[in-house]
Amino acid sequence: MVITADTNIFAYVSDSSALHKQAIASSVVGALATRNAPISLQLIGELQSVLRRKLKFDSRQAANIVGEVLTTFRCFPTTQKCVGFALAQMAVGQLSYWDALMLASAREAGCDVFISEDLQDGARLFGLEIVNPFTASGPSDRVRALLDLP
């Protein structure tokens, strides 16, 4: 089973204002790294933006964090076909362009599971199972099972 994650999971690793989510995200990202899970190149661009704009890291700090993600994970690209699909999804109002693009790219890369807090937990979108890793008591049961988390 090929598992990938959304930008928000990686952003929480650096978000000290959300310690509960930071702890869960750190576990998820660590498990994904151990599994040699792929991530979208789109995530790299989105993550540096979140780090600089939302979390107020300076450009050097953001570049260092994102550079580490880039060297730790293998990345899959966005293709012209995925962009067309994302535009079509946006046009009918099903998803935002960026969510549709990341999902389409993940599907094209052979992913089965997409870990995100932004989409409906348990939904199946474009052949991907959506898993929200966050619960009030810790990692969700599904993410624990998928990633062998305690």
- Report the alpha-carbon distance of residue 75 to residue 106 in Å, rounded: 10
Give the amino acid at 41. L
pLDDT category of residue 52 using cuts at 50, 70 and 90: very high
Domain count, the chain: 1
Q: pLDDT by residue (tens digit) across 102-130?
A: 999 999 999 999 999 999 999 999 999 99
Give kind and range of the element (H or E) at residue 150.
Answer: none
pTM: 0.94
| Residue whose token pair is 């576990």 | 27
Question: Does residue 148 contact residue 140 with C-beta atoms inside 8 Å?
Answer: no
- Report the alpha-carbon distance of residue 70 to residue 4 in Å, rounded: 14
Environment class of residue 53 by beta-carbon count within 10 Å: exposed (0-12), middle (13-18) or buried (19+)? exposed
**What CATH number did the domain enclosing 71 receive?**
3.40.50.1010
Q: 107: domain range?
A: 3-147
- In the predicted model, is pLDDT for residue 94 greater than 90? no
- Report the alpha-carbon distance of residue 131 to residue 146 in Å, rounded: 10
Q: pLDDT by residue (tens digit) across 21-39?
A: 999 999 999 999 999 999 9
